[in-house]
A and B are shown apart, each in its own frame.
Chain A
Amino acid sequence: MIKEKVMDVEGLCVSLLHRQREISVVRDVSFCLEEGKVLGLIGESGCGKSITCLSLLGLLEKDRWKVEGSVRLKGKELPYLNREKIRRLRGSSVAMVMQNPISSFNPLLTVGQHFTETIRTHKEVTRREAGQIAVEMLLKLNLSEPEKVMGQYPFQLSGGMLQRVMIAIALFMCPHVLIADEPTTSLDVTVQYQILKELAELRDHYRTAMLLVSHDLGVIAQMADEVAVMYGGYVVEQAPSREIFCNPMHPYTRGLMKSRPAFTKDRLNVLEGYPPSLMKRSRGCPFYERCRCARKDCLEFDMKETGATGGHSVRCLLYAGEEEVKMDACS
């Protein structure tokens, strides 16, 4: 099958304008989403995952955020400067599933009202036709009694059901790209499993490209074809899913893999320390303070990609140039 690039992000930089200062939040992020494939984006809280998603949708307010770089959808640059045009693309070509389904619904509107509102934003249909589309979509997501669900208020449904509704709303226009920002974080594990299964089925059915944001390695391992690890605003490592789980290269990724709970009696390995504060980000590698194999020149490092072999790219001085570093030396 020919892989088709759906969304191509190049050199995305986002900075927060705060009291005449520019605080960079997302730095030089590049990736591309392919048809029917899932790109997993992992990282700790505050590393820039959500901001990356919002900037892709053009939802960052211009007087507070500065966004640079290019985002192409099917080869065309996204019209971020035109509010009206980008609004029409949101929800139709690029859809997003939010983190917390329960608070993502207006408590005063029924599920059906939410649904028809979005449908009628993008399609010129009557209320009744919109209702039919909605019911069909809900059926596809294995919600029983969709007609009843349509008439219910958000608080009458469980988190899992609401998340399904939200996914249904996101997918009815068959978007090219679906951004899922931690779609299962607030759900319990069994529901999480079902939702992920349904997402996978829908991805195969609609051939949607997905950007799956999560800090749950299990979710990423289950869903993603390719994984990008973010730290301090940079994508520090990016590789196909299997590759990154078997052969993590960046010290941060390795630390992340080690800190997964396992069925052993050993103490859990933790990554010591916290991600650097937004305000304090300086030159050099943002992971310097927590890195076990940090060197002096790490502080001068310009965070360029250092090693890129077989689709596995990493930004770390350990892999710079000819210098061979033994993997075990710093693990």
Chain B
Amino acid sequence: MIGLGFDKFLSRFVKHKAAVLCLFFVLAVIAGGIFAPWLAPNDPNKIELKLKLLGPGGQFPLGTDHLGRCILSRLLYGTRISLGSAFLVMSFSLTIGTAVGIFSAYRGGRIDNLLMRLCDIFLSFPSLVLVLVIIGVLGSGMVNVIIGMILVQWLWYVRIIRSLVLSIKERTFVSAAKVAGTSDMKIIFRHILPNVLPQLIVLSTLDLGSLILHFSGYSFLGFGVQPPTPEWGAMIEEGRRFIRSAPELMFYPGMLITLIVISFNLIGDALRDVLDESVT
């Protein structure tokens, strides 16, 4: 993608057939979320107890849940929150992580040491525990879960980006730029950042899947999205009580999460292969 023409990138990516399939799936899901108001056959929050736990067909393509709400509509609207929050967490934590990581690696010395020890301390806790602590302080709710996830996630990126930058910082062309009097800012933005970008793209794609899983997990635990807002994790939680009589309540959102996470992983793997090829 970088240092490798777009055509070439595309032709190499297409060779990974599973990844292409996954990409289409992800795009379809994203499109479903964006166009939910037009695509959804019913109001996702309209409760009609008379129509509860209907099978698929007719007015409700995937049936209804225990409150008579359209499952398909809820899934479509849920995409907005599940994927949207994951993208939000990713973009914020990646930006913060990249900035701090580059700064830390580039400056080196005491500041670098201090930052890394700080990271060590936070990373020694499982991220679930840390996020739960933050939610405990801020209170539950979607926004607070997102804030908590950003606060924890960027620490991981600092680590990775720092190590990437450290290896590029020692490359001869960086010293050549320094010798020519290039300013630090220019070296960072023109020489270092473009060289770590391919790895960052791979990293963020691979991590998107796990972020979706995590966010749904918090909703499942009841911290994130509050009912009646549709969200995949929350839908699984609501369906949990009907696991014997109506397992499809859990099946649809669960399947969607599984497929999305697998898709992001496969796409990430393919991207890594393609971009690695360009390096060697």
A contacts, CB < 8 Å to B: 57, 59, 61, 63, 87-92, 95-96, 98-100, 103-109, 113, 117-118, 121-122, 153, 166, 169-170
Contacts and interface: CB of A to CB of B under 8 A. Distances in A.
Interface string B170-186: 01110111111111001
Nearest to A62: B109
Interface residues of B, number: 22
A121 B183 contact: yes
Contacts of B3: 107-108, 153
Interface of B is mostly: helix
A183 to B, nearest CB: 13
A166 B3 CA distance: 21
Given A98-B172, A113-B190, 8 more contacts: A59-B175, A90-B178, A91-B179, A95-B179, A107-B3, A108-B194, A109-B191, A169-B180
Interface of B: 2-3, 108-110, 171-173, 175-183, 186, 190-191, 194-195
B172 A103 contact: yes
Nearest to B4: A108
Nearest to A88: B181
A319 B173 CA distance: 44
Nearest to B176: A104
B181 A103 contact: no
Nearest to A57: B179
A121 to B, nearest CB: 5
A206 to B, nearest CB: 17
Contacts of B182: 91, 117-118, 121
Contacts of A61: 108-109
B258 to A, nearest CB: 37
Contact of A89 (B181, B186, B190): B181
Contact of B190 (A92, A104, A109, A122): A109
B181 A106 contact: no
B6 to A, nearest CB: 14
A117 B186 contact: yes
A109 to B, nearest CB: 7
B180 A91 contact: yes
